[in-house]
Structure 1
Amino acid sequence: MEGTLKCSANYVPLTPISFLERSAIVYRDRVSIVYGNVKFTWRETFERCVKLASALNHLGISRGDVVAALAPNIPAMYELHFAVPMAGAVLCTLNIRHDSAMVSALLKHSEAKVIFIDYQFLDIAKEALKILSKKNTRLPHLVLISDSYHSCPGTSEILEYESLLATGRPDFPVIRPNDEFDPISLNYTSGTTSTPKGVVYSHRGAYLNSLAAVLLNEMLSMPVYLWTVPMFHCNGWCLTWAVAAQGGTNVCLRSVTAKGIFDSISRHHVTHMGGAPTVLNMIINAPVSEKMSLPGKVSVMTGGAPPPSHVLFKMEELGFNVTHSYGLTETYGPGTVCTWKPEWNSLPPDERAKIKARQGLHHLGMEEIDIMDPVTMKSVPADAKTLGEVMFRGNTVMNGYLKDVKATEDAFKGGWLQSGDLGIKHPDGYIELKDRSKDIIISGGENISTIEVESVIFTHPAIFEAAVVGRPDDYWGETPCAFVKLKDGCNASEDEIINYCRDRLPHYMAPRTVVFEDLPKTSTGKTQKYVLRQKARAMGGLSRKSKL
């Protein structure tokens, strides 16, 4: 349009680096990070990040290089989320449950030039580098994140985090992205069914999803955020950057326990936290001796797996306000939010909890979400029963998969990100997940949602955790097999649980088999259903013609 001009006065590439720069001024003397007796202000956090960026630059890190980190929710991990992009580099946060072989494989794939290692995982890192050295691969610099309470013998020759930071210049010119589509981070998928894929996030997407996280968490300025979501998982659902945008206080928690959660809430007057449904389940089933009255309302964002309505109901009873979000690694974590409507307040508590368990609609940073037929790419009717695939489109969808053009093209086929999740659309437009496409059970021609069956099992008073998969059946093809963990001190038999489900579900949906054992989990709290499917297959097929 005549008279307009795109220039530095009206266009600056979006980047969450700007959140820290602003908070260092506006909230300079407010506490930014708390970890035990360690405290920093926003001014100190900014200065430390600039110096660390400078030190990385001195190590030879330049624009586009990958810097890896293997660490829990500690101050150094938070600082790396700003320092690495301030050096122009790309942060790759690794899952702390990976073994040496996987760490080695991901370091090789990402071509990381530096890896920051928490003292707790030093042996894993050393073994990973040993594996890499046998493959004639260039080894990354290893930087140890030590702890004043723990000594690490034999590490005198290894770079140490605080010592490295001290070599940095406080006047280092921060390197900003040339283009807001430039990568800011690399997040590997869980790899539960295949080799992990490297999901590339951009400065633009991280900026927008961080602001969306502020909105969907209803964060006012200066919130107090308790880190129960792993920072390595989707960059802490982008809340690493979001808390900085609001000048909040990050309360770091190395290991997540119910006692640690209640103690932190009480001591620091936590206003916000997050976690997978397993974290919520841990909270509601905490011993009475560990539970404390909340000093104020605590807003909790849950995601990672569909939360059972029973768990949401119990969380509300304790005084937590739970917001349900849904997304993928490929959507920077949260992609939807189940926005609450005032007319639902008059519903009975159990009905409210069931509505809260829906995945809702896309948040303001995402352009669109829909349930579509993956063959015709047409929307399914909003009848709350027609099954389709969940698909995303918008600015908070990944750039693509690192070094995997075909996988990227397949994911974006038809101009949408295809999630692989199956769901329905309600008349009000809200979506509800029914299953992963690989988890749906087809029994005698009927589709069975494992999520629905699990939700019923969870309401049994003796059940602590539950997961349902298909078990081969000579007559029906496959039937539901439930793996359950009982609460401490509780008892229940296989027949009791089967009959409990039959009283509340169509008979064909009730489990035919119940196995009592601990459920295998990923580090983000998701049940590893592929492990349970293998166990169910190993049990062999049921041969009896059980009645529906």
Structure 2
Amino acid sequence: MMPSACEAELAPNQANYVPLSPLSFLKRAAHIYPDRDAVVHGERRYTYRQLHQRARRLASALERVGVQPGDRVAVLAPNVPELLEAHYGVPGAGAVLVSINIRLEAKTIAFILRHSAAKVLICDREFSAIARQALAALETRPLVIDIDDVQVRDAELIGELDYEAFLDQGDPMRSLSLPENEWQSIAINYTSGTTGDPKGVVLHHRGAYLNACAGALIFQLSSRSVYLWTLPMFHCNGWSHTWAVTLSGGTHICLRKVQADLIHAAIAKHGVTHMSAAPVVMSMLIHAEEPCERRANQPVAVITGGAAPPSAVIAAMEARGFNITHAYGMTESYGPSTLCLWQPGLDELPLEARAQFMSRQGVAHPMLEDATVLDTDTGQPVPADGASLGELVVRGNTVMKGYLNNPEETRAAFADGWLHTGDLAVLHPDGYVEIKDRSKDIIISGGENISSLEIEEVLYQHPGVIEAAVVARPDSRWGETPHAFVTLRADALTNTSGDDLILWCRERLAHFKAPRHVSLVELPKTATGKIQKFVLREWARRPLEAPTET
């Protein structure tokens, strides 16, 4: 339908249209809260006025060394202020931020630098050795800038310039450049690449802006919020909280190492109100001592993601004063895309029942257009009966542009107008989604489908279990059988065996669902705390007499 003649003259102009970009959030925070602490890192403190100036200096300095709009600037660093500043200074120069996972090996880091064509690498000195190996594999070396953090003094410096000296070259009065088009790329995040080279997920300013707004809304962030960085900023840009906390005028508490004692100490010292944590971090907090007393009536709001946290973990966190919200997402959706929203009457439920409800992935967040479950054969929505299994799909403005230089994978991911997650889920009558498994994690034993998550849920209820993961083990008779890999509490090692855990499961599950094999091991994990099931699948193919078997 064509617009009417009068409407055709109503074109966007400077008065009624500004491209959406999270860069606007820092300018706003510096104007409204200039003297509020924006960033705290050990003894270092920056106000929002200072953070704004430092981001503008970074944008200017990058421009002066030849960084052009669309160029890529990589950062290899933990949760330090410099990585937070890069979320503003790099796109503020019109460039694209590439935050690199600090736990990757040199070969993969080299691949990312080469694939993204990074023009600059900002590297924390703690990771200089691995960065040097990666750089040696490149045909063209980017300009390297060192982050010389006072908390790290026993590692080499490999760059052409120190970060602070680099900032000194920049103009603090240079404005952060908003994109000409909000579809302009703001970041490229690389997937884990467990089955080949990692894929570069390209994100745009519009999606970053909207996902940050959603995060601030669902997390109830405000200018009084104190956010502790336990979630890696390099992971989905910190689920967009790098921008959401600034939008709200809250304080970023940086944390180089994710350790239970440091987390408890930071909560007590800074009056932390919000944090994000993978289930593995929650398990760490549950099973650790809490040496520091919190301020009176100081609950901490926690958003957790990744695999569905077992109800036992949620219940234990709630009992320790953490208010849990379960979110779900992926790199391709800027991090969180659905969340398990509170419902009237939920608070009146017994703790275990409430935790069971909260382990769902929930409904689409406010800035995502739609999330549903489609039958994998017909492509049609499954019945909302809480039992019919299908693939979770999402679509909306907070979905990636696509994969960098990978049109085939992009087309496959966007088949039929949806972002396909690869997660198998059911749709409950109330419209809430619950993931049952990754499509490759369903165990088919004797023709029966077994959910590994269902077994893991039961294992986590055992008082001696810290972590559990279940994968398929090849079986000559049944095709596949469940094999559980479990980490026990130290005080349970002497009185809990694999056979005990098998019996525990058989008492609570249909017998065909119970694991036939249990290995007591330290579980392999990614940098974001996700259990690496692809490694466990390899372990499960070993003969039963392998060293990992208990």
TM-score tier, shorter chain, comes to: over 0.9
Which residue in the other structure is 1:95 paired with? Answer: 101
- The one-letter amino acid of 1:524's match is T
Instruction: Measure, in 1, the Cα distance between the counterparts of 2:78 and 2:124.
Output: 8
Q: Is the 8 A contact 1:457 1:466 kept in 2?
A: yes
Instruction: Measure, in 2, the Cα distance between the counterparts of 1:185 and 1:293.
Output: 38
Which residue in the other structure is 1:544 paired with? Answer: none
Deviation at 1:346, TM superposition (A): 2.2
Mean CA deviation greater in 461-470 or 293-302: 293-302
- The one-letter amino acid of 1:416's match is W
- Secondary structure class of the residue paired with 2:118: coil
Which residue in the other structure is 1:199 paired with? Answer: 201
Q: Is the 8 A contact 2:146 2:159 kept in 1?
A: no
Instruction: Measure, in 1, the Cα distance between the counterparts of 2:93 and 2:348.
Output: 52
Deviation at 1:538, TM superposition (A): 2.1
Q: Does 1:48 align with 2:50?
A: no
The count of corresponding residues between Structure 1 and Structure 2 is 538
Which residue in the other structure is 1:545 paired with? Answer: none
Q: Is the 8 A contact 1:266 1:295 kept in 2?
A: no
Q: Is the 8 A contact 2:221 2:250 kept in 1?
A: no
- The one-letter amino acid of 1:44's match is Q
Instruction: Measure, in 2, the Cα distance between the counterparts of 1:196 and 1:87.
Output: 26
Aligned pair partner of 2:522 in 502, 518, 522:
518
Which residue in the other structure is 1:317 paired with? Answer: 319
Q: Is the 8 A contact 2:60 2:174 kept in 1?
A: yes
Instruction: Measure, in 2, the Cα distance between the counterparts of 1:154 and 1:279.
Output: 30
- The one-letter amino acid of 2:529's match is G
- Secondary structure class of the residue paired with 1:225: strand
Q: Is the 8 A contact 2:199 2:404 kept in 1?
A: yes
Which residue in the other structure is 1:439 paired with? Answer: 441
C-alpha distance 106-246 of structure 1, shift in aligned 2 (>3 A): same
C-alpha distance 405-294 of structure 1, shift in aligned 2 (>3 A): farther
Please list, as runs of the form range in 1=range in 2, the aligned pairs for 1:164-179 lying within 5 A after superposition. Answer: 164-179=166-181
Which residue in the other structure is 1:33 paired with? Answer: 39
Deviation at 1:196, TM superposition (A): 0.7
Which residue in the other structure is 1:181 paired with? Answer: 183
Which residue in the other structure is 2:462 paired with? Answer: 460
Deviation at 1:292, TM superposition (A): 5.2
Which residue in the other structure is 1:400 paired with? Answer: 402
Deviation at 1:219, TM superposition (A): 1.5
1:471-513 deviation per Cα after TM superposition (whole angstroms, max 9, x unaligned): 0111111110000011012131121100100110111110000
- The one-letter amino acid of 2:345's match is E
Which residue in the other structure is 1:539 paired with? Answer: 543
Instruction: Measure, in 2, the Cα distance between the counterparts of 1:233 and 1:391.
Output: 21
- Secondary structure class of the residue paired with 1:453: helix
Deviation at 1:150, TM superposition (A): 3.9
1:324-383 deviation per Cα after TM superposition (whole angstroms, max 9, x unaligned): 000011000000010011222222211110000000000011000000013321000011
Deviation at 1:100, TM superposition (A): 1.1
Instruction: Measure, in 2, the Cα distance between the counterparts of 1:143 and 1:293.
Output: 40
Deviation at 1:152, TM superposition (A): 6.2
Which residue in the other structure is 1:131 paired with? Answer: 137
- Secondary structure class of the residue paired with 1:538: coil
Instruction: Measure, in 1, the Cα distance between the counterparts of 2:451 and 2:52.
Output: 48
Instruction: Measure, in 1, the Cα distance between the counterparts of 2:483 and 2:43.
Output: 48
Aligned pair partner of 2:505 in 501, 507, 518:
501
Taking structure 1 as the reference length, the TM-score comes to 0.96
Please list, as runs of the form range in 1=range in 2, the aligned pairs for 1:131-530 lying within 5 A after superposition. Answer: 131-132=137-138, 137-151=139-153, 155=157, 158-287=160-289, 289=291, 296-491=298-493, 492-530=496-534
- Secondary structure class of the residue paired with 2:314: helix
- Secondary structure class of the residue paired with 2:441: coil
Which residue in the other structure is 1:14 paired with? Answer: 20
Q: Does 1:59 align with 2:65?
A: yes
- Secondary structure class of the residue paired with 2:166: helix
Which residue in the other structure is 2:86 paired with? Answer: 80
Mean CA deviation greater in 410-419 or 286-295: 286-295
Deviation at 1:293, TM superposition (A): 6.7
Q: Is the 8 A contact 1:472 1:540 kept in 2?
A: no
Which residue in the other structure is 2:548 paired with? Answer: none
Q: Alpha carbon RMSD of aligned pairs, Å?
A: 1.6
Q: Is the 8 A contact 2:57 2:174 kept in 1?
A: yes
Instruction: Measure, in 2, the Cα distance between the counterparts of 1:145 and 1:514.
Output: 44
- The one-letter amino acid of 2:497's match is S
C-alpha distance 21-498 of structure 1, shift in aligned 2 (>3 A): same
Q: Does 1:113 align with 2:94?
A: no
C-alpha distance 486-60 of structure 1, shift in aligned 2 (>3 A): same
C-alpha distance 98-157 of structure 1, shift in aligned 2 (>3 A): closer
Deviation at 1:290, TM superposition (A): 6.1
- The one-letter amino acid of 1:464's match is I
Unaligned runs of 5+ residues in structure 1 are 542-548
